[in-house]
Amino acid sequence: MIQGLQRAVNDLRFAHALFASPFALLAAAMAQRDPEPWAAYAWTGLVCCGFVVVVFALCWSGRAGLRFSVAVRLVSVVLPVVAWIAVRRSTTWLSIVICAAIALWILGLDLLYTGQEKAEHGPGAVAGRFGRPFALRAALVLHTAFLAALLTLAFLAELSGGFSFGCGLVAAFLVVQHRIVRKRGSCRIWPVFFLANGCASLLLCLGAIWDLARVA
């Protein structure tokens, strides 16, 4: 049981689901633009919790393969657009920006943690062909673009203090992770920062929802 728990917490796919899910809640709130969109929050939160639980359970079992890995990343990226369409029956550039931000974060994290391990397929193939320093630099570029996408979202949606605080928190966590991985390798910080990234994502999205409620 304990081994299964450790396997799930250390799994990069669980980290992706944990980080991306709050953004679906944010997308639902932005789509409704209502100070009390409780219905949108309720169903979106239920779907996100279900997604995280399923990913955690399959990571726990140790039976998840390549198709599952691809599916987790794909669902993590498109979940905000699905939430937006469910509320508005249409989509806008705001939902696309949210999805782009998640995609950049996932790609950067894959390269940061697994891209330094040489392999034939996946992020490890980047390190295998171009070297570990290149993989780490590519991760840094992707995460810089991720932060730029968050700033773009803040500008387009007219978000202020709450979202800015969350952006600063996420940026700080990314800076620390990149510094540690460059100096010591990734094995020392996987579990702690995977959970910390999820908490930072939740605070970021709650801050944005707070900003939306104040404007409304």
Total structural domains in the chain?
1
Q: What is the pLDDT of residue 160?
A: 82
Phi–psi pair at 65, nearest 5 degrees: -115, -155
- Quick one: DSSP state of residue 35? S
**pLDDT attached to residue 98:** 92
CA atoms within 13 A on the CB side of 150: 27
Q: According to the model, what pLDDT value does residue 16 have? A: 80
What's at 114, amino acid-wise?
T
CB 115 within 8 A of CB 124: yes
User: Among 112, 138, 111, 142, which Cα is nearest to 125's?
Assistant: 111
Q: Spell out the residues 6+ positions from residue 119 whose beta carbon is closer than 8 angstroms to its own.
A: 125, 127, 128
Token pair, residue 80, equals 């905000």
Domain of 188 in residue numbering reads as 2-215
Residue partners of 47: CB distance under 8 A and separation at least 6: 24, 79, 83
Do the Cβ atoms of 61 and 74 come closer than 8 Å?
Answer: no
Would you write out the chain's pLDDT as a tens digit for each of its 216 residues?
A: 555 556 666 667 777 888 888 888 888 888 876 545 566 667 777 778 878 888 877 777 766 666 777 888 888 888 888 888 888 777 888 889 999 999 998 888 888 876 544 444 455 556 666 777 888 888 899 999 999 999 999 888 888 888 888 888 889 888 888 888 887 765 555 566 777 778 888 888 888 888 877 765
In this prediction, residue 2 carries a pLDDT of: 56
Confidence (pTM): 0.83
pLDDT at 143: 94
